[in-house]
Structure formats: structure tokens, C-alpha cells
Amino acid sequence: MDIQGLIRAAHAATQHARAPYSGFKVGAALLCDDGTLYTGVNVESSSYGLTICAERVALFKALSEGHSGFQAIAVICANRTWCPPCGACRQVLWDWARDITVILARDENDYQQMKLSTLLPHAFDNGYLLHE
């Protein structure tokens, strides 16, 4: 896996973020098992609850194109602060990508790499749902 390339793709995506209210532009790059790369950006709404994060945009793009296996996701903020996935993104990533590698980056050489289970210990998943 080319971590720096994944970070560069996430950073390039930030220029397309739509953050007119917060100014907090985030980019994500998701690497599929077959090497396909999907990027995503945060898209804000004046009704803040309708805003969607970069990580979910990248994941939903990949899922909508038929992908189901994922290796890693890189997340970067345009202002180069640390930007870990929010709780909703952690849950959706767990549901669809399980214990994916998460790369939090400030630039190509300043990043942290961890498994999603580090960010979301004791994750809730379909194993807890009642099946009859």
C-alpha cells in the first residue's frame, strides 16, 4: 500500500469540499482490495444534521460502484490539523469495512496509522441484532 499516495489523494480531494459554514474542509481516500481508489469530501448543509463527512462519501461511492472489500482509508483536513473520523463515520466504516486501516494525516510525512478497532473499541455490529 502506498500510504503517501493515499494521503496525497485525500489532500487533493479537500479542494472540492463544500464547507461554507465551518470552513473545515476534509478529504478522504479509500483504497479497495482490488486497488481502486475512491475519494470523498465533506458536504455541509445549512441544516447541520444533513451534512455528510468525507469518509462516508468515499465509502458510499465505492459501495455504489459494487466494491465490498477495503484495505485502508486516509483522512486529512485542508488546514492540516488532525481529523479523526466522527462517531457516525466510525460506525459506518465498521459496518462495511470492518477493521480497516485508518490513516490520519497532516501531510505525507506526518501521519498516524491504526486499525479502526483502536478508534472504535467494543463496536456494535450486526452480531448484536436479533435474528429469528
Residues annotated catalytic, as ranges: 55
Distance CA 95, CA 93 (A): 5
2's CB contacts (< 8 A; 6+ apart) are none
Q: In whole angstroms, how far apart are CA 106 and each of 23, 30, 36, 81, 103?
A: 17, 17, 23, 6, 10
